[in-house]
Structure 1
Amino acid sequence: MNEFSRDRYVAHGLVRQGESYLFLRRRDGRYLGGLWDVPGGTVEPGETPAEAAVRECWEEAGLRTTVGDEVTHFENADTNGRDLTFHTITYRLHLADRSPEVRLSAEEHDDFRWLTLTEALDLPLVWHVARTLGGEQR
C-alpha cells in the first residue's frame, strides 16, 4: 500500500469454530465502544489485507489462523470529510488449533462470545459486521 494513496485499508476476519463465530466487544471509551465486532484493524505498510486480518486476530484474540476466502469488501468515504476512501475487507479465517483459547487484548476489547450468525444479529454490531452477516445468512 502506498503511503500517499487516498485509500485506507482495514481488514477483518470471520473466525469459525463449529457452527459458531468469534465476536469481540469493543471497550467503552474507544472508537465504536460497546459495539460487537470481529477481529480486525488497519493494514500496515508492506502488508496485504489478508496478512493484516491474520495478524489482527492474533493481536486481538490470541488466535493463530490461516486466511480463507474474501467475504466482503466495502468502500466508503471518510466520515471526517478528508479526501480518502476506506476499504473494509472481511476474510474467512481458519483456526490453526483444534482447541483455541481466546486471549483478549484488554486495551481494545472487554468481552468475547462464540455465537451462531443468527445469535450475533441480536447484538449491537459494528456496521460492517452487520452488513457482512446479512450476506452470510443467504
Structure 2
Amino acid sequence: MASAWALIEDAGQIFFIRRALDLGRGGQWCPPGGTIWRNEWPEVACVREAFEETGLRVTVRRPVAKFESAWYFVCSLNGSRESMSLSKRECIDGRWVYPHEILGLGTVMDLRRIIPLLDLSGFKAPMMPRGLEPAVPEILF
C-alpha cells in the first residue's frame, strides 16, 4: 500500500509521533503519516493523515522524495502547536525535536530513509549510525 508522510516543520523543529504499541512497528518514532486512499493524491493523504494523527493543520510546502510506495513531504504548521491532539488509537507520544537530535528519541522508524530525507529537506540531519547504509530514493523532487 502507498503511504504519505509529513515532515512538519515549525521554528526549526520537526514533529515526530510515537506509534501505538499495538500497531505495526509499535513504539517506534516517525513523522505523522499513513495510507494513501484509492484515487487520493499523495499530498492530500499527507495533510489528512497529519491531522488525523495529531490534530495539527498543515500545508504541504514541497515534496522531498519517494521511496518505493512511500511519499515524503515537508509541511508547514498552520496555527499553533497547542492545537495538537494525538489520536490515542495511533499515537502514544508526540515531540517537537531539532532534526539533528532525532536519534535521542529512541527507535526511529525507517531511519535509513529519515536521515537522508532530513538532509534532502535542508535540515541539519544527524550522522548516519555506523553500519547503517542510507536508503536511496526512487524519485527526488
Shorter-chain TM-score category? 0.7 to 0.9
Q: Which runs of 5+ in 2 are unaligned?
A: 125-141
2:2 matched residue in structure 1: 9
Whole-Å Cα distance in 1 between the matches of residues 112 and 84 of structure 2? 22
Identity over aligned pairs, percent = 32
Larger Rg: 1 or 2? 1
In the alignment, which residue of structure 2 is the partner of 1:66?
59
Q: 1:115 is matched with which residue?
A: 97
C-alpha separation in 2, matches of 1:30 and 1:112: 16
The alignment's TM-score, normalised by the length of structure 1, stands at: 0.79
Per-residue CA deviations over 1:31-87 (Å, capped at 9, x if unaligned) read 100100111011112210110000001100001111121112101xxxxxxxxxxx0
Aligned length: 119
Contact 1:26/1:109 (<8 A) preserved: yes
2:34 counterpart of 1:41: yes
Q: RMSD of the TM alignment (CA)?
A: 1.6
> Following the alignment from structure 1 to structure 2, what is the Cα–Cα distance between the partners of residues 42 and 105?
15
Structure 1: which 5+ residue stretches go unaligned?
Answer: 1-7, 76-86
Alpha-carbon distance in structure 2 between the residues aligned to 1:98 and 1:24: 17
Deviations 1:11-49 (A, max 9, x none): 010001101110000111211001001110111122101
Task: Name the SS for the 2:107 alignment partner.
Answer: coil
**Residue of structure 2 in register with 1:101 after alignment:** 83
Q: Could you tell me which amino acid in structure 1 is paired with residue 51 of structure 2?
A: W
For 1:89, the equivalent position in structure 2 comes to 71
CA distance, structure 1, for counterparts of residue 25 and residue 73 of structure 2: 21
